[in-house]
Chain A
């Protein structure tokens, strides 16, 4: 009775990706365009710097009412989490205003895994792979100088916010290009605005992370719900003071220090989409009035000892799902699956599960 996507539970087939004709080409182009001139092809093209931690996930008593997936129905599931800075630059700049990432891999039984990949920006910059490519091309890092004092005065007189000064050592930035693109494309405006003002968290575990895409969860009575996930830090959100000079390298040490003293926890909140909400457009967040279900608690208690194997070489993939969770028809979600595979291959990482065909 419900026109369910003919999806397989764990893998998204290419035929469902829809949207652009040249999907393989698109995924590759996206990985390439994201590579910064000051990046490193042996590393990820974005979210280059990161740190992994381990812990476990415990579902809430009602989580199983909404989703039959194993980790919502098992008392405890082991996880590995990679926190990261969004930038693809090969120079670590923790203190610069940047989106952060939190990729969670749940270790299910029988050596199976499922991933949930989230970031501190609640939406993407563009609704489709093609428009995302256009955005990435326009927002390719370019020399950044900020404004002269006189230009700033002119902005203030026009009741516009002056551009921020470049950080010490900052020579290129995507900001100008992103704003240019947002001026022409209304759908990118919210993402660009929020990314520009997102700042830096005082700790990886003091930020909220959003998985952005819509997923379809299946309940035991076969009811399907279109949902979006968010990790809410139980320690609360706290940013660094933007008026102080940024510190380049503190997040990894902070996490080591913190987890050495006590575990960090996140709540998994699941918002349920309703009629009129866009299930396929990742550039549009849902207003905060949706029913949000508290699906469980993530506890992180240790930083991974082998950061090379368990962080750098690890290949997460947003398409790595499991029975009970399916992808919606969001075209960017589908393209990300391929882009992550390609990126993983190019940097010589441990092959992600999809490459075992």
Chain B
């Protein structure tokens, strides 16, 4: 019935590259679906897991919009970090579970990207105890941050706020998205199973609810070991 070589078929195959199609898709089709089948925003950060190797070397991708994204504002953010170097290292060493951490200024955001071991809220809470003042300095630069100051007296709120600004980590296996979306609505996952063909739509709609995401839980060259285990194995003391 279908002639794959018909001009119409060949034309339709090229639609995703056509400008007018993309325009229609972006401004009409997708918004329609967003209105019709909105998805709840999925929580950020790695999901709890029984396996030890899922509980070490976890990725945090914290994106925080700056109150003042002008060059002066961003300079202020840069100085806030630079003036707290001692505090930050004390924190990192005394919390003991961070492999790597870095601050980035990207567009209008200050981002904190780190690799850490164990539970995320323990890590934040222990950090507040050691370097609460640094968090205060950073948070005061960020939109919506005043409500969290001082962080030492707003521990739970700060943890929830970080959780909210940490990027959603797309599941390592794309079809797991169905179950996550069900769980976010309070439904039992995959009961009934989603149609497989709806995966692109579910992904597009989820990317509307979670604008920024991490694609999976990250690649690891030497998985399954904590920061302290590495330090111990290399004789650097922990």
Q: Are chains A and B touching in the complex at the 8 Å CB cutoff?
A: yes
Which residues of A approach B to under 8 Å, CB–CB?
Answer: 145-149, 152-153, 155-162, 165-166, 179, 182-186, 189-190, 192-193, 272, 274-277, 285, 287-292
Report which of A146, A161, A162, A277 forms a contact with B4, defined as CB distance below 8 A.
Answer: A146
Distance of A159 Cα from B203 Cα, bound (Å): 10
A159 touches B175 (CB 8 A): no
Interface residues on B, range: 35 or more
| B199 within 8 Å of A (CB atoms) | yes
Distance of A91 Cα from B45 Cα, bound (Å): 48
**Inter-chain contacts of A288 with B (CB < 8 A):** 172, 216-217, 219-220, 223
A165 touches B197 (CB 8 A): no
| B173 within 8 Å of A (CB atoms) | yes
A289 touches B223 (CB 8 A): yes
Chain B residue, CB-CB nearest to A276? B50
- Pick from B6-14, B75-83, B130-138 the stretch touching chain A: B6-14
Distance of A148 Cα from B223 Cα, bound (Å): 47
B201 touches A146 (CB 8 A): no
| B72 within 8 Å of A (CB atoms) | no
B196 touches A165 (CB 8 A): no
B1 touches A159 (CB 8 A): no
**Inter-chain contacts of B193 with A (CB < 8 A):** 182-186, 189
**Inter-chain contacts of B1 with A (CB < 8 A):** 145, 148
Distance of A156 Cα from B211 Cα, bound (Å): 22
CB distance from B172 to the nearest CB of A (A): 5
Q: Which of B1-52 contact A (CB under 8 A)?
A: 1-2, 4, 6, 8-9, 11-13, 15-16, 21, 25, 29-30, 33, 49-52
Report which of A153, A182, A287, A292 forms a contact with B12, defined as CB distance below 8 A.
Answer: A153
A interface, by DSSP: helix, strand, loop or mixed?
loop
Of B11, B13, B57, B219, most buried by chain A (CB within 10 Å of CB) is B13
Distance of A288 Cα from B15 Cα, bound (Å): 35
Can you list 8 A-B pairs with a CB-CB distance of less than 8 A? A149-B12, A159-B30, A183-B197, A186-B194, A193-B174, A272-B224, A275-B52, A289-B223
Distance of A292 Cα from B190 Cα, bound (Å): 30
With A149-B6, A156-B15, A159-B200 given, is the CB distance from A289 to B195 under 8 Å? no
CB distance from B106 to the nearest CB of A (A): 26
Q: Which of B170-222 contact A (CB under 8 A)?
A: 172-176, 178-179, 190, 193-201, 204-205, 216-217, 219-220
Chain A residue, CB-CB nearest to B52? A274
With A156-B15, A274-B53, A287-B172 given, is the CB distance from A292 to B223 under 8 Å? yes
Distance of A157 Cα from B201 Cα, bound (Å): 10
Of B16, B173, B179, B200, most buried by chain A (CB within 10 Å of CB) is B173
B196 touches A183 (CB 8 A): yes
Chain B residue, CB-CB nearest to A285? B173
B51 touches A274 (CB 8 A): yes
**Extra A-B contacts (4), CB below 8 Å, given A161-B200, A289-B51, A290-B53:** A145-B1, A156-B29, A160-B200, A288-B172
Report which of A155, A159, A186, A192 forms a contact with B204, defined as CB distance below 8 A.
Answer: A159
Distance of A145 Cα from B197 Cα, bound (Å): 17
| B54 within 8 Å of A (CB atoms) | yes
A186 touches B178 (CB 8 A): yes
CB distance from B226 to the nearest CB of A (A): 12
A165 touches B175 (CB 8 A): no
CB distance from B13 to the nearest CB of A (A): 7
CB distance from A263 to the nearest CB of B (A): 26
